[in-house]
Amino acid sequence: MNAQWVSEAQEFPVAEYARLKAEALSKANGQPGPRIRNPRLSSDGIEPAILAVLDEQRRYLQNSAEPGRAWPRRLTAMAGLLRTALPVPSCFNPLILAVNGRAVEPVFTPRLGDNHFRIEGCGFGSRPGEVRLEPESSVPLPAIAMQPTTLQLERAGSWSDNQIDVRLDSHLAGNPDSIATLVVRLADGRRLELHGCRFVAVRGAPVALKMISASWVKLSPTGTQPRLLRQVEYVSPPTGGEDIPPDAANLSALVIRSDSETFDGGTDKYEFSALNPGWVVESIQIQNYDVACPGDVTHTEQAGDSNLRVEDRGLTVNWASRTCSSFIPPMFRFSIAASEYGVKVWVMGPIGTEPVGVDRTREDQKQQ
């Protein structure tokens, strides 16, 4: 290539430059990175703090005696815990004291192996009544509200005056995580309540988000420069468009930045707090693109580094920019600085529910 030709080359007319820029972006070469899992999430999608409570409840059941035989002995051992939340029981009135040994915030789940619950108290009577979980009325209902759920007796004889053993169906689906009230309805119609219980649903398989709302994303408009870039474009879902690479169609979102002048890298923040209850980020993957500079490339340069961090309901992307200059015979020079990356986000949450939006099926049922 003749150096004099390059030095004497002219800029493209505006319309032709815009066409070549769109072509360079659309033909960019995608480089997918590794799929990175949320380090705070357990393999079955439940938070470690909740798993710790379930482990505690399971150990309590394993270490306790057969139903209905050890209440007087356990009452003394439980007194230290119970005093922090409830007074020492008086059987002048029926009372729920604890569930699986917890007087405060017991966790209910249909998760197999953790779906057996021992309700201890006094005054339940000898005739079986009904046990239910109901949405906590003092908590605003989410987009998908928990439905009242009946718990089944563990076996014949599982209902006694001071102890009730019940079980949640392990196939229960369609309820989100929520705060619930445990309701024990006695055979004579009286209603006992334990407020502040937690319901934690079984998780379904991870699903990829097809779209990420622009309101969930805070884009850096300039990198570290004081000037604004000529193009800062957020596309979700990334389908169609003259400057969008074809392989971006399977991503959750695509971010395109470009300018005729070099610019530094920056940071974009994604916030997923608007996911429905119980839904969290399970894993992410970033795909960086190298702009396909047309003609004979004379110079390339990169500014910044590309990396990311994943959290339960957040994602931070540090992006780099790449600059290329080229000579296009017979007399034109072309240069573009660009940062183009896509993200794919997998989320995990309560089986039978959706990660975003309202459960229209239940809304229709309410109107019937």
- Mind listing the pLDDT tens digit for each residue in 224-240? 556 678 888 999 999 87
Q: Is residue 354 part of a domain?
A: no
Range of 305's domain?
Answer: 3-42+206-348
Site of tokens 């998908």? 144
> pLDDT-derived band of residue 293, with 50, 70 and 90 as boundaries?
confident
Model pLDDT, residue 6: 45
> pLDDT-derived band of residue 160, with 50, 70 and 90 as boundaries?
very high
DSSP 337: E
171 and 216 in a single domain? The answer is no
pTM of the predicted protein model:
0.81
90 and 34 in a single domain? The answer is no
Q: Is residue 129 part of a domain?
A: yes
Q: Within 10 Å of residue 112's Cβ, how many Cβ atoms? A: 11
Model pLDDT, residue 302: 87
Q: Is residue 79 part of a domain?
A: yes
Q: Is residue 216 part of a domain?
A: yes
257 and 307 in a single domain? The answer is yes
Parallel/antiparallel/unpaired status of strands 307-311 and 314-319: antiparallel
Q: Three-state secondary structure along 264-320? A: CCEEEEEECCCCCCCCEEEEEEEEEEECCCCCEEEEEEEECCCEEEEECCEEEEEEC
Parallel/antiparallel/unpaired status of strands 95-99 and 116-122: antiparallel
Q: Is the pLDDT of residue 85 over 50?
A: no
69 and 136 in a single domain? The answer is yes
- For the chain, the first-to-last Cα distance in angstroms comes to 76
Here the tokens at position 269 are 């923040």
120 and 163 in a single domain? The answer is yes
305 and 191 in a single domain? The answer is no
Top-confidence residue, 98 or 310 = 98
Report how many domains make up the chain.
2
DSSP 114: S
Q: 25 in helix, strand or coil?
A: helix
Q: Is residue 364 part of a domain?
A: no
The residues, any chain, with a CB within 8 Å of residue 78's CB and separated by 6 or more, are 97, 98, 101, 103
Q: Is residue 190 part of a domain?
A: yes
> Residue 119: what are its φ and ψ, rounded to 5°?
-95, 120
252 and 321 in a single domain? The answer is yes
> pLDDT-derived band of residue 9, with 50, 70 and 90 as boundaries?
low
241 and 133 in a single domain? The answer is no
Q: Is the pLDDT of residue 221 over 80?
A: no
Q: Is the pLDDT of residue 342 over 80?
A: yes
Instruction: Give the Cα separation of 100 and 93 in Å (integer).
Output: 21
Parallel/antiparallel/unpaired status of strands 163-167 and 253-259: unpaired
72 and 189 in a single domain? The answer is yes
314, burial (CB in 10 Å: exposed 0-12, middle 13-18, buried 19+): middle
291 and 226 in a single domain? The answer is yes
- CB of 327 within 8 A of CB of 295? yes
Average pLDDT over residues 242-267: 89
Average pLDDT over residues 44-50: 89
